[in-house]
Amino acid sequence: MDKSHQVVSVHLLIHIGLIFFIFPTNIIDSTRAAHWIPILLGFLVHWVLISVYTKGLSRFEGENLIDIYLRYGKPVAVIFLLPLFVYMFMVTSVTIRAYAETISLVFLSNTPLWAVMLLTLSISAFLTSLGVQVIFRTSVLMAFIFIPLITFVLCMAFQNVDWHYIFPLWSNDFSFLTDPDYLESSFAFFGGFMYLGFISTKVRYNRKKVIWGSLALFPFFLIAVYIPVLTFGEDTASKYHFPFIVAVDTIDITWLMFDRITIFFLLCTVTFVMLFTALTSWVITEILRRCIPKTFRTSYIVIGLTLLTFLAGINIPDWRDVDFLFGVNAWVRLYIYLTIPSSVYILGRVSRRKAAAAP
């Protein structure tokens, strides 16, 4: 049964969860004008990588990424899957730590950080233990509940904008390409689609629907950056660590019974982040299941992984260390998201040629 709508739903939700927090800061800090240029370039890389990745995967019907690499020997599997495993464990730990601190700063200031982390990790671990099919079905329910709320908040966020701040529309300065902040922004661009290589044996989907469905993300990338820029101006927006959250906090709706709609926006996006961590943890679990004896139950792997993630996250001292780890992770991410899609595509072409040459 084709479940492309579930895959598209997951793809959109997990990226929306990653867009509105650190991404605006990265883009605003990496360039002074014409922010749409780095956004468009990053999104084009995102779109091309998904196209190449899914095209390569389509050559290996009924096989996941682990099976594909093991076809060509264990050394090949280690070269590509070990960095992926390390990256995904790091990104889960740092993401949980970063978003837990954001929640504490905005509306749970009296709650210990470890309690917020433990709660979000527990929900993600519960989803992971239920399996990837449950994660995908949950994403459809989340989309129906939260997308209307997200759309409402984004529409209301335009009430304080000054369209004069959109100028200049063009800049000849492309130095952002070598800026570390722009490299960190790749987390939102293509930090969340590697799961596509692991669901082929679990969830059937049409690659073209995922590719074209991902185009719906582009307006969210633009809005995440331009709402704070158009509200405060580039100079002021660059001084905030979470410019989009501050911009949303300025919304004043007199007819709404709630004083701050920021809380609703954060709850929606943090829910999407928990979906992201659940899916990432499931991928890590799938890799571990192929590496350790089968006597270990999946539930034990999930529990052990959750505890390690919690310990790793809680031992990150402060936000400067979170920012540093995001920077370190960016280089690992660049290696993974350039080599794995291209290698799968090349191996797919090789496999097709061998099949055509066979008598």
* Closest to 287 measured CA to CA, from 186, 194, 192: 194
In a domain, 357, yes or no: no
Using 50, 70 and 90 to split pLDDT, how confident is the model at 220?
very high
Using 50, 70 and 90 to split pLDDT, how confident is the model at 225?
very high
Q: What is the DSSP string of 283-306?
A: HHHHHHHTTS-TTS-HHHHHHHHH
In a domain, 78, yes or no: yes
Arithmetic mean of pLDDT, 194-218: 86
Strand partners, 204: 2
Arithmetic mean of pLDDT, 211-218: 90
Give the whole-angstrom CA distance, residue 287 versus residue 170.
45
Alpha-carbon Rg for the chain in angstroms? 21
**pTM over cut 0.85:** yes
Per-residue confidence (pLDDT) for residue 346, from 0 to 100: 87
Per-residue confidence (pLDDT) for residue 164, from 0 to 100: 86
Q: Which domain holds residue 302?
A: 4-349
Per-residue confidence (pLDDT) for residue 93, from 0 to 100: 87
Report pLDDT digits (tens) over 119-174.
888 888 888 888 888 888 888 888 888 888 888 888 888 888 888 888 888 888 78
Using 50, 70 and 90 to split pLDDT, how confident is the model at 354?
low
Give the whole-angstrom CA distance, residue 122 versus residue 138.
16
**246 contacts 25 by C-beta, under 8 angstroms:** no
In a domain, 210, yes or no: yes
Residue 139 CB-half CA count within 13 A: 30
Using 50, 70 and 90 to split pLDDT, how confident is the model at 38?
very high
Report pLDDT digits (tens) over 288-347.
887 776 666 777 888 888 899 889 888 888 878 888 888 888 888 888 888 888 988 888
In a domain, 358, yes or no: no
In a domain, 355, yes or no: no
Number of domain units in the chain: 1
Burial profile 174-184: b = 16 or more Cβ within 10 angstroms, e = fewer: eebeebebbbb
* N-term to C-term CA, the chain: 32
In a domain, 356, yes or no: no
Q: What is the DSSP string of 42-74?
A: HHHHHHHHHHHHHHHHTTSTT--HHHHHHTT-H
CATH number at residue 277: 1.20.1740.10
Per-residue confidence (pLDDT) for residue 44, from 0 to 100: 93
Percentage, residues of the chain above pLDDT 90: 9
Helix (H) or strand (E) holding 325: helix 319-357
Report pLDDT digits (tens) over 232-284.
888 888 888 888 888 888 877 766 666 667 777 888 888 888 889 999 999 99
Arithmetic mean of pLDDT, 213-233: 91
In a domain, 354, yes or no: no
Using 50, 70 and 90 to split pLDDT, how confident is the model at 197?
confident
Using 50, 70 and 90 to split pLDDT, how confident is the model at 61?
confident
